[in-house]
Structures are given as structure tokens and as C-alpha cells.
Amino acid sequence: MSRTAAIIGGGVIGGGWAARFALNGWHVRVYDPDPEAKRKIGEVMGNARRSLPGLTDVALPAEGKVSFHAAIAEAVAGAEWIQESVPERLEVKHATFAEVQADCAERAVIGSSTSGFKPSELQQGAARPGQIMVAHPFNPVYLLPLVELVPGDAGEAALVEQAKTTLSSLGMYPLHLKKEIDAHVADRFLEAVWREALWLVKDGIATTEEIDNAIRYGFGIRWAQMGLFETYRVAGGEAGMKHFMAQFGPALKWPWTKLMDVPEFTDELVDLIAGQSDAQSGAYSIRELERIRDNNLVTMMRGLKAQDWGAGALLNAQESEMRAGTALGARAAELPADQPVLTARRTVPLDWTDYNGHMTESRYLNAFADATDRFMEIIGSDAEYISSGGSYFTAETHIRHLDEVHAGAVIKITTQVILGEGKKMHLFHEMREGERLLATGEHFLLHVSLETRKPSAPSPEIEAALVRFAAGHAALGRPEGAGRAIGGPR
């Protein structure tokens, strides 16, 4: 059963929230009096569709319906999550919350995207103060997982836990702040860097492009995967954080930065910064820059995913939840043996395509190898079994590329066992988008002792599971293309 979220305010942030919910299977109701709201959110949704589904190796749920409403009451009725993203004016937010609470469910979470107001300020005069909490995301909301969740002293514990559970199910990371403070946490760091950057430009020390390069070629990459304190802990060497603080702590007394001062925003300074920014990035439209940004974020986050680290660990946890209770999470005894086994259902990510605009050759093997790994898990050759000293090694592979596959395609792979006995396992994979056959992968594997690195018999349990599928799949007949050599039949 689909769940419903209401988005109040459909700008860049509101549109990002709409995309995050809808692409995770929620129905989304949008209220925004801007006559261009439908177009703007449609463009954000388009960017999200091409990037978010490719972050995970399990396909996201079917996309929820996005509808637009002329009144707040229509949008919030029956919604279990309501996200306010109206302009940063307290009187506007208060008026919005009053309308929302007049018609929303009492147990719905009302999150505010505010970057500046504390929850105690938002809750002033509210009918149910504990229902309103800060849920401050980062742009693009549909990709970046961080949400600063600040309920304030009036926050209701049960609703806070409900909010954390919901955000986690969307693949996000709720950073629950127990005390409120102006600008929360992350924006305080951003403001400090922003202030110093303004001075560096104003004083002619560096251009906007040089400052951006200092970040993206240096500490920005470290921060992306290790944060601030862990980075400095490593910088302290074997002696760790205490050594780092003893060595570099005195530098904090040196007048290096101007963090307490802000340069006056004169027309000259604004023109200087705007001119340098245009020279740096003006060759691209904003939509092009958004797509470039999304491509880079997906690639970096997938890299972290492979290491099960940082934002990548969140994606792996989300995948585990999505697999649970489906064929992609089942074991051998839970699956019928008289039909091909579903071993993958995923979206093709942006970084899997080549200069021809379709999936590159190596990624077909990548997808089929993942399907083989999944089948090994199904029969019991999982991480625990491999750690005990047994595994399967691939001895031969043959892939047929039958049709094009593009980024964003939802592909599924089914696996048929052609031979399964003793040390031998012969698999035939079929990759499809809908009913369209895209490719086949034929793989012959041998069970190997990881101690001797030579073929060996698998455990009786694994062999029994493999034989069960081989016997059941024999009735399916030999699949078309099996045993084929390059250019023609064997």
C-alpha cells in the first residue's frame, strides 16, 4: 500500500523532497501557488529519475503519483509526512503551519526545510507544537542523504522516532540534534567557509575558481568520505587525535582567518564575485550544471558504496531493507525449483554507459557476475561459507549482446542451472528490460578450496541445493543460445 507525503512549497528544495518521496514509491501531493510549480518540479523530477535509481543495485519501488493541489487542506489530508519548504520568513511559516494543522492528521510528521529558524521559533503559537520539527536537507535532496532533524524541547519522542524511521526508509541519514541552535550544524560550517572565501576574493588573494579548486582537489574529497575529526585523527599519525591537537592546536591562536568579520556586500564585491563565477561556469546552463553535479555525486557515492563506507554504507543498508521479504532476499528452500531464479533487478546507473550512450561491455559482465554471486548466496555459498574456506571460481564466460541498454533502464536477470553436480556449476543468465531480451551470460564455475586453490567438493548442503535447481530446470529445456561460440552455433 502506497504512503502519502505532502510538499508545501515547490521550489528547488521542495521539488527535491517530492522526487525523493515519489521515487521511493510514495504518492506526493504538492501545494505551491506559483503557476510555474508544475514545470519546475517536473524538471527536478527528470533529473532525479536519471540519477537516484542508479545509486542502488536493487531497483527502487514503482514511482508514486505526483499531484498538484490548489489548497493546503487538499494536499495534507491523509498525508503521514508533510514537508514545509516555503520562503524563510517566520510569519509565512507560522501562517502555513496553522493551515496545515487545521486539516492534517494529528500523528503526521510536519518537517520544515528551514536552514535558519530553530524549532522553538517555528512552534510558537502552534496548535500542536510537538508535531512540528526541523527536517533540514541538503541540495540535491533526492541524492544527498543528510537531514538535520531538530525537534526542540517540545518534540514528541514517538513522532521523532517515526520521523527517523521514515527518513531512513528513503535512504536518508537523520542527524538527530538534541539541542537547538541557530543554523543547526552543517550550515554553521558552510557559513564559516563562505565568510573566509568572501574575504579571499575581496582581498584579491584567490578567484572563485581557485577557491573551488582548493576544495574539490583537496580537503573536499577527504571530507566526503571521512568528515572533519576522523580526517584530523589520521593526520595525527600513530599517536592519533591527541598528537594532532598538541601539534596544531597553537595555530588556532594565529590570526589566519576572519571568521568573525564579514566583508560589506558592496556592488563592487557582488560584481567581482558574479563576474568571476560567470567566467568559471558560464559556459553551462543551470540544468547542465545540475546534471554534471548529479553524475559526479552518483559516481562518488557508488564508489563509497563499494567500500561500505560513509554515504555508501547507507545505500547498502537501504538495499538490504529492499531485498528483505522478496525473491532477491530468499534462500534456496524458499524458491521454486521448476522456473528460472530471479537473481537481479536493478536500475542501470549513469556511470555504466559509454561513448555510444549505452551500457559498456564490462558492465554486462558486472551485472551477470552480480547475478552469479546472488545465486551462490541462494544455494548457501555466501560470505559465511566463503570465510570457512570454500567458494566457486569462474572458469569460462560467454556473453551475447542482443540489444541496447541505456542509463535508467530497470533490468532484471533470471538464472537457469544447466548443470549442477559435484564441483561443477553451469549457469545461464538472461537479462531483460520488461519483456525485451537484452543479453545472455553463460558461466561455467568450479567449486574450489580456498586453502589449496584447487577444485574441491562443496558442502553437502550446497550440492543438494544446486542439484535441486538443476533437476527442476532440466524440464525447462536448453535455453536458446546456450553453448554458442562467437559468430554462430557450436
Q: What is the pLDDT of residues 303-348, one digit of tens each?
A: 999 999 999 999 999 999 998 888 899 999 999 999 999 999 999 9
Confidence band of 285 (pLDDT split at 50, 70, 90): confident
Q: What is the residue extent of each domain of the chain?
A: 4-176, 186-283, 325-474
| DSSP 8-state class, residue 324 | T
* DSSP string for 351-379: GGB-TTSSB-HHHHHHHHHHHHHHHHHHH
Q: Residue 318 has what pLDDT? A: 92
Q: What is the pLDDT of residues 78-90, one digit of tens each?
A: 999 999 999 999 9
For 4-176, give the CATH class: alpha beta
Report the alpha-carbon distance of residue 428 to residue 415 in Å, rounded. Answer: 6
Same fold, 186-283 and 325-474: no
Confidence band of 257 (pLDDT split at 50, 70, 90): confident
Specify the CATH architecture of the domain 186-283.
Orthogonal Bundle (1.10)
Residue 57 grid cell:
543495485
Q: Residue 88 has what pLDDT? A: 95
Confidence band of 489 (pLDDT split at 50, 70, 90): low
What CATH code is assigned to 325-474? 3.10.129.10
Report the alpha-carbon distance of residue 256 to residue 215 in Å, rounded. Answer: 18
Mean pLDDT of all residues in the chain?
93
- Confidence check: pLDDT of 46 > 90: yes
Question: Binding-site residues, please?
Answer: 9-14
Q: Residue 64 has what pLDDT? A: 97
- Confidence check: pLDDT of 490 > 60: no
Report the alpha-carbon distance of residue 428 to residue 479 in Å, rounded. Answer: 8
What residue ranges in 329-466 does DSSP mark as E strands? 341-347, 390-401, 410-421, 424-433, 436-449, 454-455
Q: Are 29 and 69 in contact (CB under 8 A)?
A: yes
437-to-50, 433, 480 alpha-carbon distances in Å: 22, 7, 12
Q: Residue 289 has what pLDDT? A: 87
Question: Binding-site residues for NAD(+), please?
Answer: 9-14
The percentage of residues in the chain with a pLDDT greater than 70, rounded to a whole number, is: 99
Q: What is the pLDDT of residues 183-193, one digit of tens each?
A: 999 999 999 99
